[in-house]
Structure 1
Amino acid sequence: MEVISLHGTDDRLYQLVARLVMDPDVLRQNNNYPFKTTSEYVWHLCVGDDGGVVGFLPVKATDRGFYIDNYYVGGDEQAVLDLLIGHVLLQTTRPVTILAHKRHSQTLKGHGFITSTVFAQYNRMQCVRRIGDDGR
């Protein structure tokens, strides 16, 4: 598996994720919230050995850091989430906030995220990084 990063309006992004973001099973896994993108996003895609996308994290740049609120991890595979989150964290020393599915909270804690707000189905988690900090 490898991670590739594409700007939120890149034509290649649409070719790679269109099937997934319109798939009823993927939307159901995301509690029926649609995926969105603009030029403020960079999408980090985990691509399997067969060239298919097995997970993605759309990351929005904000004045406070980076924000992730809709993402997909095929089969809830921890290895896919580990690879994607690790890739994102290597890209920045700015804070990263994620509105995480509760089922992914432990994996994110392993990357240095702490829970700031608990909701019924999600946890808002943040990772504040410093230069030289590997997040673990």
Structure 2
Amino acid sequence: MTHIIQLEGTDKQLYPLIGPLVMNPDVLRYNNRYPFKTGKKFRWYIAVNKQNEAIGFIPIENKASECLINNYYAQKEGHDEILTDLLQTVCADYTGDTPHLTALVQTVHKELFIRLGFSTIKEWKLYIKMERK
């Protein structure tokens, strides 16, 4: 299992940890060239390797009516395992009194999200809006 750390969206540790990924052209291509965002309403789940380098992440935007996954990344080597570990940690934290978890999922990851209890709300060409209540 991957080691997962959590940081608030404006934590000073966040930028040095994820900067090499979010500024990487290959990672931006993975995200369909959409830039990654953060702020005070975000909580980041970051998978790190033994060298304490980020190998994947899921930022969650905490809104009044939902907690939104709008971007995410996992490196190619061990991709599905990293993404699964991240999602399992997120799902464990967002239960009970928290607003339901909504995700804009890349179509290639649909089945992985379904296995973790998400269901489809709406489908587009590149993305699927899913939720987990």
Shorter-chain TM-score: what band? over 0.9
**Residue equivalent to 2:57:** 56
Following superposition, the deviation at residue 65 of structure 1 comes to: 2.4
Following superposition, the deviation at residue 32 of structure 1 comes to: 0.4
- What's the CA shift string for 1:13-48, capped at 9, x where partnerless? 001001110000100111100000000000000111
Q: How does 1:80-91 map to 2 (within 5 A)?
A: 80-91=82-93
Counterpart code for 1:41: F
Tell me the TM-score normalised to structure 2 length: 0.93
Following superposition, the deviation at residue 49 of structure 1 comes to: 1.8
Following superposition, the deviation at residue 92 of structure 1 comes to: 2.0
Counterpart code for 2:131: Q
Counterpart code for 1:87: T
Following superposition, the deviation at residue 64 of structure 1 comes to: 1.4
Following superposition, the deviation at residue 50 of structure 1 comes to: 2.2
Look up the SS of the partner of 2:55 in the other structure.
strand
Look up the SS of the partner of 2:13 in the other structure.
helix
**Residue equivalent to 1:127:** 132
Q: Partners in 1 of 2:67 and 2:4 — Cα distance?
A: 18
Q: How does 1:22-101 map to 2 (within 5 A)?
A: 22-75=23-76, 77-93=79-95, 94=98, 95-101=100-106
**Residue equivalent to 2:11:** 10
Look up the SS of the partner of 1:100 in the other structure.
strand
Aligned residues: 128
Following superposition, the deviation at residue 80 of structure 1 comes to: 0.7
Tell me the TM-score normalised to structure 1 length: 0.91
Q: What percentage of residue pairs aligned between the two structures are identical?
A: 34
Counterpart code for 1:125: M
**Structure 1 stretches of 4+ moved >3 Å:** none
